[in-house]
Amino acid sequence: MTRQRKKLWGGRFQTATHEAVERFSASVDFDRALVHYDLRVSMAHARMLATQGLIGADDQQQIQTGLEEIAAEVEAGTFPWDPALEDVHTNVESRLQAKIGEAAGRLQTGRSRNDQVATDLLLYLRDASRASRRGLLELRGVLHERAAEHVDTVLPGYTHLQRAQPVRLAHHWLAYCEMLGRDGGRFTDLLGRLTQAPLGAGALAGSTLPLDRHATARELGFEAPAANSLDAVASRDTAVEFLSATAIAMVHLSRLSEELVIWSTAEFGFVELSDAYSTGSSLMPQKKNPDVPELVRGKTGRAIGNLVTLLTVLKGLPLAYNRDLQEDKQPIFDSAATLRDSLEVTAGAIATLRVDVERMRTAADDPMLLATDLAEILVREGVPFREAHQAVGRVVQNCLSKHLDLRQLSREDLAVFHPSFPAAASELLDLERSLEARSLIGGTARGRVTAALDHEAASIRQGLDALAAEESEP
């Protein structure tokens, strides 16, 4: 185990590394996720070395062929990963050496594992950000589709989990489309900070060799080489930004999941999750548990924890590279996978759930949801809002204490609380009229909601087109 490592990484050490240290410091079990990026970076580096005359054309061809064979082994699942070789880079180099011999040793010319892994990671973050955007767009598509089915489905809107005012279900689900759209925007913004290639920065100070950093940067799809070699190998703020965007997106999914859990209870009964996205009880045969949204809600804690983990790792590190930075990968890989899977199962749950339209409508028909409308009627009669609010508050208290339906109050009944009420409550209050009166931008009137649906459909198409264009680039 140790002999192989010494052979690859130099002859300075005379004492074998303790096997506990080898175990403790090994990262190959998780950083093998970077292998495709590592191979791509190595191929670009080898071509540049040959162009610059730093290695011969024959060596470059052998390296290229060997790396392609390794890529095929990885794809087929036959690559012989060796945990004794510490990390993905050492495993690839060792395998390349076994395949082509001495020429493999020329590949590391002018580079360090520090700039190598930093470049690999930026390439990974680029793909993971795009994958996250695609998952967000797909969930938005499902929410949009279900919202379009329920423009005329009405339910109570809630504040403090108390019935507040009536809204359309389409309007409610479009609110999540807005949140998820901003989440996608955060991943898009991150791409603008993944444009400088660390490759060629070496361990921390660059190289005395005539490397062409612009050539490797272009080949790998970067705009330019990183401007400062210390920053290139030591910074992980783009990884923090990815984890932050992921955590925020997971929080939004958690809020949506919480509503699915609540809405699927017998007490609410607004929705029923499909059997495919629910589980039963090991003891109680009548149970249908909303495990999928509960797990999304629970896994949000992991995404938040991963962000805190990396921030904590970074907060005390001096320049440049420190081995602490090995701890960046597991949080990144875990959060990327958690968001990917959560988006997929949430989309499936939303697409297949059954909405109890009548149950929602019955809840929305609570006359107290129109109390604010009654106060605003007084405002239109010239009454200051605070005075109107107080008067309607007394009306509500009277109805609650006497078990009266607000809509049954006559003009004379209302006049006891304020003389400016213009008519009986039954003439003033109507659920549909209340919805349609909210026709300001962002409101729940039918026309506003259908316009928002059209806008969301266009935004989703635009997002998918932009992704397709980006993915066609190198």
* Among candidate residues 330, 7, 400, 362, the one with its CA nearest the CA of residue 153: 362
- Please give the Cα distance from 46 to 61 (Å, whole number): 9
Side-chain half-sphere CA neighbours of 271 within 13 A: 28
One-letter identity of residue 26? A
* Residue 431 and residue 365 in contact, taking contact as beta carbons nearer than 8 Å: yes
Active site residue 42: no
- Please give the Cα distance from 329 to 124 (Å, whole number): 10
Both structure tokens of 46 = 């080898």
Both structure tokens of 453 = 């649906």
- Please give the Cα distance from 449 to 168 (Å, whole number): 8
With a CB cutoff of 8 Å and minimum separation 6, the contacts of 45 are 107, 110, 111, 199, 216
Active site residue 281: yes
With a CB cutoff of 8 Å and minimum separation 6, the contacts of 71 are 36, 39
**Counting beta carbons within 10 angstroms of the beta carbon of residue 243, is it exposed (0 to 12), middle (13 to 18) or buried (19 or more)?**
buried
Of 160, 282, 403, 472, which residue is the catalytic one?
160
Distance of CA 70 to the CA centre of its chain: 32
**Counting beta carbons within 10 angstroms of the beta carbon of residue 459, is it exposed (0 to 12), middle (13 to 18) or buried (19 or more)?**
middle
- The string of DSSP letters for 430-467 reads -HHHHHHH--STT--SHHHHHHHHHHHHHHHHHHHHHH
Both structure tokens of 213 = 């950093």
Of 18, 25, 274, 281, which residue is the catalytic one?
281
Q: What SS3 state is found at 427?
A: helix
* Residue 128 and residue 211 in contact, taking contact as beta carbons nearer than 8 Å: no
Sign of the dihedral through C-alpha 106, 219, 132, 235? positive
Instruction: List residues with catalytic annotation.
Output: 160, 281
